[in-house]
Structure 1
Amino acid sequence: MKRIGFIGLGIMGVPMVRNLCKAGMDVTIIENGHGNKEAIAELKEKGVRTAPTARETARNQDVVITMLPNGRIVKDILTGPDGVLAGIAPGTVLIDSSSVAPAESKQFAALAQEAGCPFLDAPVSGGEPGAIAGTLAFMIGGDETVAGKVRDVFDAMGSSAVVTGPNGAGSVTKLCNQIMCFINIAAVSEALVLAQKAGADPKKVYEAVRGGLAGSAILEQKAARIYGRDFAPGGFLESQMKDINHVMETAQELDVPLLLAPMVQQITESLMQEGRGREDNSCMVTFYEKLAGITVQTKE
């Protein structure tokens, strides 16, 4: 039974910890949990241990996992007198599943190396539904042998875990994933707005195309939210803003021309200015609705 310190109890972290518990892992979390008191109480009932700081959470563990909103917070949690690296023992595997820039992942890997700890950048795809179901896809940057040693940890939370290269490659892969996902959400939004304006029922359009080549996990997750007007967060728009900015920064650094991603960036920026940052990113449809002068809604 592996001992795991887990830091980050957001909409992804809480179900990930639940699944680690189901797999029989000995999990420790931070007592204050950034204010998520209900989740902490529930997890404690499941046998999860608590510690007062990140330093204590990392102490005497086989693996430490961070799942945090951005790279700045990850760095703050890792460093400092009460940070993870102040308490972690050499040889402990440090896994960062946060969505951060590739350059940040490389920086965290260097910090871990100084502490004598192997590091894996292992962001995920699948959103809150995947975290709840334990079907997340882990995109890993780091040593294959190290990843193999913690395969059971990944298996407890996900359905796939693929090493795509050295440290930083996991975060690059996540950016590639986000390009495909965000453009797909925009495409679903465009299509359903067109359907609505033309007089077709968007729900029926979804049902008609889902079994063909247009079918996708994005279509399955987002179409019903769009025509059902459900923008409760499964994936925050503000997280999309962060990720698409990382995409554009990385592309600029590598001198890679992107044509569709900048459009998504502009749409996301516009919606952020409307105060939609804490809504699900399926709210992208509202950008198109405003231009078309309609609202996508099923007739059923």
Structure 2
Amino acid sequence: MEKYIEVKGLVKQYGEVKALNEVSFSIKKGEVVGIVGPNGSGKTTLLKIMLGLIDATSGSVSIAGIPVFNNSMDARRKIGIVMEDQGLYGQMKVRKYLEFFAKLYGFSSLTPSTIDLMESLDLQKYEQVEIAKLSKGNKQKVSIVRSMIHNPEIIFLDEATDHLDPEVRESVIHHIKHFRSQGKTILMCSHNLHEVEQVANEVLVLKFGQLIDNIRLDNKHKQGSKTKEHFMMQVMANPVLMNLLTKRWEQKIRSVTSEDEVTYTLHCEVDHLDEMRRLMLMMAEEGITVFDLRRQQSQSLNEMYMSVVKEAVHQ
């Protein structure tokens, strides 16, 4: 399925304030997508609407072909959810709590895969401990195991590593990478750009409720990947041509920011110089004017994010 998750024209309005403003994007099956942005940019609101937990003012969301607003329960059955506000039952012991959720999903007991996940997260020694008495990190581990009991195809993570100590944080990231290797589709909201960069194929940047950019990171997670060439170019083109260009070269153009209606800054990543020459030749044939081109060192996600957010402030 080309568009495994699809969000179209999503708006969430509180009085005069738009928490989300015409947000649209799609995610392919097996991709890991990060959602980043300043506080109040709409990240958690977006996630809650996608889960059917709060209503949108307008727009639509479909998950695995299921329209969420009409069938939120059917959609949520395909999703494992790890939120910053974990919603755990503090009075229950860890084992009983997980068995309770296993029964809700139709299992008579914990499955071997759930027990294996508990072992890999070093949770088995806390089986008979009340959840309220666990550390923040161990509570988050319980939340992760609970989210994976039904072997979901999709995982939603909202600040899953926030306030965790470094050792637990690394353990959680390790398991996210493992879920990625299993072909899970993962949507990850986080303030920690370094962690997002470790696991994501693509990053969506939100600011003031608007999707201001998407940044491709595909090649960072391919074993044995070769060193890439990075270029920054400034071009003049009409919006229609620029849209066609970025779609045709979406694997090579990592980010696009607009100075005005006809001036754009592109950050490109290519395997070799011939690809860059082909891109520039195609631009010339389409009437796109390149007026600045610079070779760059590989940018970190943090550098790209700061550049995009800074550009958005001045628009």
TM-score for both structures, normalised by structure 1: 0.29
Greater percentage in helix: 1
TM-score for both structures, normalised by structure 2: 0.28
Greater percentage in strand: 2
Considering only CA atoms, is the larger Rg found in Structure 1 or Structure 2? Answer: 2
